[in-house]
Structure formats: structure tokens, C-alpha cells
Amino acid sequence: MMFPSRRALLQCFTVSLITCISSASTFFNPFNVTYDHRAIIIDGNRRMLISAGIHYPRATPQMWPDIIAKSKEGGADVIQTYVFWSEHEPVRGQYNFEGKNDLVKFAKLVGSYGLYFHLRIGPYVCAEWNFGGFPVWLRDIPGIEFRTDNAPFKEEMQRFVKKIVDLMREEMLLSWQGGPIIMLQIENEYGNMESTYGQRGKEYVKWAARMALGLGAGVPWVMCKQTDAPDPIIDACNGYYCDGYKPNSNNKPTLWTENWDGWYTTWGGRLPHRPAEDLAFAVARFFQRGGSFMNYYMYFGGTNFGRTSGGPFYITSYDYDAPIDEYGLLSEPKWGHLKDLHAAIKLCEPALVAADSPQYIRLGPNQEAHVYRVNVLSEGLNSSQYGSQSSCSAFLANIDEHKAASVSFFGQSYILPPWSVSVLPDCRNTVFNTAKVGAQTSIKTVDFALPLSSKLSVAQQSMIDSKVSSISKSWMTVKEPIGIWGENNFTVQGILEHLNVTKDSTDYLWLMTRIYVSENDISFWEENNVTPAIMIDSMRDVLRVFINGQLTGSVSGRWVKVVQPVKFVPGDNDLVLLSQTVGLQNYGAFLEKDGAGFRGQVKLTGFKNGDVDLSKLLWTYQVGLRGEFQKIYEIKENIKAEWTDLMPDVIPSTFTWYKTYFDAPDGLDPVALDVGSMGKGQAWVNGHHIGRYWTKVAPKEGCQTCDYRGAYKSDKCTTNCGKPTQIWYHVPRAWLQASNNLLVIFEETGGNPFEISVKIRSTQSVCAQISESHYPPLWKLSHSDFVDGKISADDMVPEMQLRCEDGYIISSIEFASYGTPQGSCQAFSRGNCHAPNSLSVVSKTCVGRNSCSTGISNAIFGGDPCRGIVKILAVEARCIPSSNIGFSQL
């Protein structure tokens, strides 16, 4: 069947997505999905499946086609997502399946690309999502206890899960209806905490399985990290490595529902990165040892727009170091290296699905082979052919973290780098090794939104930068009142739990009381050198203390003790506490009891007559900010505020709203808002909530050189030490108009809005460095001549492949050397051996094109520049927008 191109689908979004996607019944001929001990069986055939994790609410619908297309191009067979209950039912009984919450539209788009769909309903999802994906109203159901044998919870859970399954059935999205859905998931990672609930936890698991199966979806269900998943539910693995995982029944296949290809980040934390070599090693080992379904968590991470990030303290970006970054751009070399691995695994698929189990061969103390073969005619395997009944494929692994190994396998010698797997689709030729990266490296930049030209001088570029160093020279401002600001407040005795009051409608809850201070207290403090203080046994996430309208101090942390010195004046003093959340807890047992705000005693210490128990006083409560209540961040509502012009020389102010207008950058490149000049707050563009921002700085230490070898953990390979964790915030193109875009900022701690800038994120440089001993391009290895045995891998030469993002072309080759070049991307230099025509050969092949490939051989570069030495081709190319051709001056 014909699938729509990525660009065609992007264009169709300007009219209507629905008119461009056919009904679900036309995606596939109806097919059944079952499983056996070896694999998921689709339409009667075992399959080795590569899945890409994409969360639809973490992107706009306009981004979906490009992300799905890049996933398919990268080798994915399946798209996987959670279902976010809090997004779909923000108020009990009121459903939202519109915009970026349009699950049906997303599923149909997946099917339109010929991809399968794995729907993880949960409805608990974790996912670093606010409250783990639960709607906050759920905690107010009388008698409810989450995720245990509790009648109120089970009733609500079943109601929502049934809602989703019924919706998928009504839209003809299940496989037996011709739709893309091949698997569903109930619950999520419950095995981690099942023991906390005792016998009630065990009964809950059994009930969840019965409930899911009783919905009659007609496709297999899975439970991840659930070793006691009742039959026929498949238990699946989550983690960095799952090659040793075995399901709880010999009748179930080995599935990996979450391969963590990166990690999430907290405010003030370093940025974690997982090396492409290690990630590929983990995937290859999984399929080597009998795995059959592997999903990348995440293949595209996206953005926690609005207040959807969990935590507490998870940042707005959910990039996750995924193969496709937060903005929808390819992260190279990770995306390309995995694409090659997927192609190699697909070459092995005939043997992998035909063999019930592999033959294990010990090759050395830390080296081993797993061989999959059917109807082998001879041990030499010379008659092995892809796609025939005589199939053989092998994986050779070296799990030594430090040393390469030379091994003998079926009479041939192979060199295995440390911590690597070689893939041999015919049990002879190595077509891929996880430690040998042949994919390009892309250097992504966040820069000012003006045309780029290879003919611009440094002085011209500097002049451009100075002209666009800020988003606007004209800002307006209005102060947010401290404390009680409206009529919708109430007064009660005591300290109330934060979420019981706000219902998570806002981050902010004001509490105000009045403290009388006598002259005797003042004298007592002065004579005894005593400073009164507010003491709170436990607090989360942020507390700000105001005395008589002035900020006295701030504390942040998760359930931390507070001792905040305060200064009173004689007489009545207004004491205001601002309790703030920064994402609700998303993981752990008893989420309904976690709450927010204050726990334990809240008191004033240091008074002459003893401590003052603040929980016995009358407190006036005000939910949220006045600006939030008035919705002054919306285009039609912002006139409600009494805005005044902001002067550039004004001292940065706390608890202040700012607004300005700006034009969208030209082109289609993703847009980023740079708020590095601000402190902590939230941002909106044209009424769309970009999310929270916080320029909290990461520790200066801990960003050591990363070695891919050895087991990965989240703090192994990190960057950004000594810098703010996040300063760039994604503004989706779909939320922008050509001009007059409204930007509204709420700033809590003080910052300079005049230094805020709008930038574009793009890939301006691409590099590759490939040896003449590298394996040939995998697309040629699947060519019919190779399959039929007419040519071998030895007859082919490696190729260097370069590619700019869509809409960009290679404008120049900044460096090229065939020989013994030194260094790395953006720091290449010639070695002692160099082919003089390197630059001209590569330039002729690549300049003016979106992508290009150059063979790596002596013949292509006019002879051998240094005999007896393995040559390397290193190239750095510059990419510019294709629309900028001919642009040479300002």
C-alpha cells in the first residue's frame, strides 16, 4: 500500500488532518494477534518487533507526522504510548480528546504509516507525569486507596479503562478490525510496590487482569515489571538491560516494554546522556538471547507543557536523550546508529523467528555466540541464504568492559571490541558491530532566527547577533499582590493540606494570619540575642515567607524541615506563607496520601512566653494568583490587568507579570524561548502554557569524560555542570502566528525580561568519520543480489553518509580528509597521511544536496595515499536552509 509522505502530511495539517487520513478500516486487512513462547504472532507469522515510544500529549498534532515518519525511517515497526487519564478526564465525567489529547487521531496517524500500535492504558503511567497520570480529583473519592484491592478505586479504574477500550473498538482501531493496535497494557510497574500492599496487592493484580481480559479487546495484554502477571497476560521487562529477563511462563515471549535510552532531569540537575554504543549493545544482547519485542523509552521524549511535569522538580523538557529530540530533530549519531542496528536485526529475522531457541557457543571467558538456524545443510553454513528455508544468523558478544577479543567462530576469526555485539545475518559476514559507529554526528544549535549563509563574515554575524539579542525592547508589567487578593478566599482555624484546598488547579496557595508582637518580645529578642523563626516539621516543594508584604525567605525541597528566621515589628504583623508545588509525586505507593504543603507542627519560636502554635490560629486562604484568575496570559483577557510600561533600568522585581509582543522567526525550524535571564516562574505564548521555568544551576562537579563500556546508570554520562539545567523552552510552531505573538511571563524571584530572546533550533553542522574497514551500508546488504549469494560483503565498500534536516542543504564542506585524520567533529585536523583531492571529491558529491554518500576506497580518492595503513574518511559539512541560497549580505 502507499503511505503519505511526511511533507504531505505536514501540509495537510493546515487544512484538516482527518481529510488526509483514511478510516482505520483501510490501514490493514483485519488480522489476528496472538503469541507463543518465541514471539508475538501477527496474522499467523512470528515477528521481531522494534517499537518507538512517543507520548502524544508531549507534542502538538502538527508535529506528529514528522515524528512518526522519522520513527518509521529509523526502523520502527510499532509506536507505543501511554494513555494519560489526567488529560482525558480532568473533571470526573467530562472527557477531553481534542488537540494534543486526540488519542484517536494519533492512533489513526500511526496506522496510516503502516505501523502497529501498542497502547498502554494503565491507567497509572508514572512517566514523570504529574501525579503519575491520575487526575487529582481521584483522591477526593470517599474511601479510596489507589492501586490496591479497594472498591472505589477499582470502580473508577474500570470505568476509565473500559472507556478507552470501547473508544478504540468504536473507531475500528483494533487489529481484528483492520486497525493498528496489536497490544494493550493494564497497570504499570506495579511489581515494584506490590509487596507494600500485602495480600490486597496480590488480589488487585488478579482483579486487574480479569477486568482487562473481560473487556473483549481481542488482542494480547501485557503487565510490565509484574512477575506474577496472571495467564494469559504477558509480563514484560523495563530497564537499561533486559537480555537476562525470562517471562513467568514458558508459553510467553520475552518482551521489553521500556528500554531506557536516556533519563529524566530535575531542576538543578545535570543532563544525563546514554551513549549510542551502549544502547545498541543492550538491544543487540536482548535479541541475541531470545528477546522478540523491544520498545525505546523514549524514541521521542517531547515537552511537559503547562503543569504536566511530575516529580517533584522535574524540568519542562522531556528530551530524555532520545533518538528524536524534544524539538523533533534527529539526535545523531544515536538515531542513525540504531537505524543500522535495526536493519541488521531485520536481516536476521527469518532465522530468529524460525528457530525456537538459539544454540549457545562459548567463545572465550567473556565472549559468547548465539546461533539461530533452521535446516542447516552443513556446519560451514556456506549454503545459508536470507529468506530461504536454510537460514542461519548469529550474534557474537564480548561482554568484557575493557579488552577487545579475537574469537574463532565456525572456522573464521573475528575481532570483537570491548562491550560489543557483532551481528552476522548469514553466520559469516559481520554487517554491524554495536561499538563501531558509522552514523553521522549532528551538531545542533539554538541561535537567533536570521538567515545563515556560508558567505557571512564574523563581523556580519556579530552585527546580526547584536540586532536580535532580545525578543523585544518594549515590555509592560503589573505586580502580583502578595497574599489575599480577591473575594474568593475563606478563613478557618488551622493549617489545611495544600491539595485539599487547590485541587491542583494552580501551583500557588496563599495562607495569611496576623501575629501580635509586644514591646516585651522585642526587648527579649534584643537582650538575649534571639531571632524568632518559623519552624515546620516537613514541607514540600517551595515555601516563601512574607512579613508585612516583604519577602523574608524561601525554602525548597521534598518533605524537608523548615527553620526560617523572621523579623517582626511591634504591634500587628501580617504573616503570609506561600505554599507552592512544582509537580506532584508520580511514583511510589500510597500516592493518594502523599499530598503537598506542610506536615506536622507549624510554629513560631523565640517568643518570651514560649512557642506560638500556628495551627491553632485563624488563617485566611487564597487559591492561586490574581493574574491566573484573570487569565491575563490569554490574548482576549490580558487587558484586564493594569499594565504599565517597563523601563530598562528598573531593578528586577519579584512576583511580577511581564508581557510583550514578538514576530515569529521565518521558516519552519523549531522555536525556542531563551529565559536564561530570569529566575523562576511560568511562561505563556498566545495563551498556550509553555510550562514552568527555573534557572537553577547544576553542580559544578560530576561531568567526567564518558566511556560507553560497562553498565550504564543515569549519573554515568552527564553534561551541563555549573550551568542552569534548562534555559531554552520549546514553543511549538503551531502556537505561533506570523506576527504580534503575545508572550506573558510570571516571574517569582526576579529577572531581566529585556534579555529574553526567541531562537531557532537547527542542525548546522554534520560530521562523519568512517574507516575503510567499516561494514558496507546495510541497505545494500538486503539487495536481492546479495540475498541470492551473487555478491558478498567483501565485494562492497563502506560509505560515508551525510544528511541535513528536511528543508536544509549542504552549503559547504568545512573539512575533508581521506587518510589518517585526527580529532573529532568541529575539531578535525589532517594527519600524516592525506589524499589531496579529499575536499574536492566530497564537495562534488555533497554540496547543494540535502543528503549524500561517498564511497570509502583508494580508487575513489585517486589511489592509496599511504600503503599498509587503514585509512579513515573524516568530513565536516555545513547545513543551511535551502531557501537561503543566494543570500550573501545583509
In the beta sheet, which residues pair with residue 115? none
Quick: pLDDT tens for 503-524: 999 999 999 999 999 999 999 9
* Cell representation of residue 818: 581521506
Those residues whose C-beta lies under 8 Å from the C-beta of residue 31, and which sit 6 or more positions away, are 42, 43, 175, 176, 178
Quick: pLDDT tens for 745-758: 999 999 999 999 99
DSSP string over 211-266: HHHTT---S-EEEET-TTPPTTSEEEEEES--TT---SSTTS--EEEEEESS---B
The alpha carbon of 127 is separated from its chain's Cα centroid by a whole number of angstroms, namely: 10
Q: Where are the alpha helices (DSSP H) in 552-615?
A: 591-594
pLDDT given at position 784? 58
Domains defined along the chain, listed by start: 6-301 (3.20.20.80), 333-435 (no CATH), 447-479+629-760 (2.60.120.260), 503-615 (2.60.120.260)
How far is the CA of 783 from the CAs of 259, 347, 389, 777, 796, in angstroms?
A: 30, 11, 18, 11, 12
The alpha carbon of 212 is separated from its chain's Cα centroid by a whole number of angstroms, namely: 28
Q: What is the mean pLDDT of the chain?
A: 92
* Cell representation of residue 753: 525580561
Cα end-to-end distance, the chain, whole Å:
48
Pairing of strands 728-731, 671-674: antiparallel
Q: Across residues 169-188, what is the average pLDDT?
A: 98
Q: By the 8 A CB rule, do 673 and 689 touch?
A: no
Catalytic residue among 156, 187, 194, 258: 258
Please report which confidence band the pLDDT of residue 808 belongs to, taking 50, 70 and 90 as the band edges. Answer: very high
Q: Is the pLDDT of residue 177 over 60?
A: yes
Q: Across residues 70-81, what is the average pLDDT?
A: 98
Q: By the 8 A CB rule, do 275 and 708 touch?
A: yes
pLDDT given at position 781? 74
Q: By the 8 A CB rule, do 72 and 342 touch?
A: no
Separation between Cα atoms, residue 869 and residue 82, nearest integer Å: 52
pLDDT given at position 53? 98
For 877, which DSSP code? Answer: E
Quick: pLDDT tens for 29-64: 999 999 999 999 999 999 999 999 999 999 999 999
Q: Is the pLDDT of residue 188 over 50?
A: yes
Q: Which range among 144-148, 325-329, 791-795 shows the weakest confidence by mean pLDDT?
A: 791-795
Please report which confidence band the pLDDT of residue 614 belongs to, taking 50, 70 and 90 as the band edges. Answer: very high
Quick: pLDDT tens for 635-671: 999 999 999 999 988 888 999 999 999 999 999 999 9
Separation between Cα atoms, residue 139 and residue 150, nearest integer Å: 13
Q: Is the pLDDT of residue 173 over 70?
A: yes
Q: Is the pLDDT of residue 146 over 80?
A: yes
Decide if 87 is catalytic.
no
Catalytic residue among 89, 189, 747, 799: 189
Which is it for the CA torsion 145, 149, 150, 153, positive or negative?
positive
Range 436-446 burial, b when 16+ CB lie within 10 A, else e:
bbbbbbbebeb
The vertex-522 CA angle with 519 and 525, nearest 5°, equals 150
**φ and ψ of 595, to 5 deg:** 65, -160
Torsion of CA 405, 410, 411, 417, to 10 degrees: -20
Quick: pLDDT tens for 100-143: 999 999 999 999 999 999 999 999 999 999 999 999 999 999 99
Q: Is the pLDDT of residue 340 over 90?
A: yes
